[in-house]
Structure 1
């Protein structure tokens, strides 16, 4: 019995020691987180927002539920115009913050970041949540009115664009229909012109045919035979005389050319000087 009692006491002592060590580790991490938070705040005051964001991230690394570090990290991102990165930090702060004032501040800045990201409906929701936690914040109320106006403007723009697209499509359909009718009428007109042209062509062909019929083939043949052609082997005495004279003259010309060539072909004898 005593042995069981001592064992229970020893177990309680060991458990207490571990619990105390865990508490000490937690306290140590929280202290480190606060130290990094202060460093980040100093850098933020110097407008060194990038370095400040690194310090705040280290603070959250030591204490992930450190809402002040998350809120300040969101501010550092916001100052560097990293609005999309700032949004989740403000959301985390709004979720983990225990007092309404901190929640209201987180929702207010969340609304501003959503406005910069052009998510106007998200901004409206954030500003409304900020006012639920702090109804007396006139600045938040003013931002809510601006955000709501932007939402209405965005909706109207979408409506106008939709109506414009509808009108453009209607005009396009009308234009296509007009062009289709125009092409149809053109084809019809071209068909009529073609039929008319073919009809005229048929008439012309018929007239030419009739014209050819009016021609007298016997008359044409008679006209072509007005000049008689000489028959081979039949020559008049006068033609024979002319042919003989022509041959005689041709022979004289040939003989004269031969004599000229012989005279031209003689070699000149050159006397040598011995």
Structure 2
């Protein structure tokens, strides 16, 4: 069954009828979808689901309409519903798993998308587009892991530089501690007493000299106003 390519490697199965038992709402949704009126198509498919919740076509096509609106989480839910409704039809299962992988990959869930593509290939091993998408997802996962490793190496280098700077600071502090510090002058009790006695003697001598000097009268400062 033919598939259309969606932005690089993402693709969804075209809305050709899986059966002739589609409801009028689903057929209307298909017409709107082909006209790229995805919001209106979504509404039509939801109307179809109200009438028949177990319709594979309504669930699956609604998923496609949501996917085109970049509502990847909602699209995934509809693809999951459609898979549960068709456990034996390999062609339908392959298409549903293929688009499940697309929704997961678009939502940056790379490992989960790889598993979905593998499930699609189990149902249809000859699907080249699914095989291509699987290879692409595996390449993206490898790149993601390489980027993580690079970031880890950068973090290690930063931590190493930080440790080296801290070690240098520790060494500098240690060197400063080991350098001889200026000695504070030490004074014994005897020296302190000698200095105190000398000061007291000087004060006594000064007072005696002051007593022997004649007392002068103070000058009065007069000011005429």
Relative to the length of structure 1, the TM-score reads 0.57
Alignment match of 1:127 (pick from 117, 128, 131): 117
Say yes or no: does 1:194 pair with 2:216: no
Whole-angstrom distance in 2 between the partners of 1:94 and 1:148: 23
- 3-state SS in 1 of match to 2:112: helix
- Kindly state the Cα deviation for residue 58 of structure 1 after the two structures are TM-superposed: 1.6
Query: CA-to-partner distance for each residue in 1:24-74, whole Å, 9 max, x for gaps?
Result: xxxxxxxx9712111111211221101111111121122111111111111
Q: Output the aligned Cα RMSD.
A: 3.1
Higher relative contact order (CA 8 A, sep 6+): 2
Cα gap change, 1:193 to 1:58, in 2 (>3 Å): same
Cα gap change, 1:230 to 1:169, in 2 (>3 Å): closer
- 3-state SS in 1 of match to 2:70: coil
Say yes or no: does 1:142 pair with 2:117: no
Question: Which position in structure 2 is the counterpart of 1:113?
Answer: 103
Matched ranges for 1:2-81 at <5 A: 34-81=23-70
- Kindly state the Cα deviation for residue 161 of structure 1 after the two structures are TM-superposed: 2.2
Whole-angstrom distance in 2 between the partners of 1:231 and 1:131: 126
Kindly indicate which of the two structures has a greater share of residues assigned to helix.
Answer: 1
- Kindly state the Cα deviation for residue 90 of structure 1 after the two structures are TM-superposed: 1.3
Query: CA-to-partner distance for each residue in 1:54-110, whole Å, 9 max, x for gaps?
Result: 111121122111111111111101111111211111122122124111111111111
Question: Which position in structure 1 is the counterpart of 2:144?
Answer: 154
- For the 8 Å contact 1:33–1:63, the answer to whether it is kept is no
- For the 8 Å contact 1:83–1:116, the answer to whether it is kept is yes
- For the 8 Å contact 2:22–2:57, the answer to whether it is kept is no
- 3-state SS in 2 of match to 1:194: coil
* Aligned pairs, number: 181
Cα gap change, 1:168 to 1:230, in 2 (>3 Å): closer
- For the 8 Å contact 1:94–1:103, the answer to whether it is kept is yes
Cα gap change, 1:144 to 1:230, in 2 (>3 Å): closer
The unaligned stretches of length 5 or more in structure 2 are 1-20, 217-225
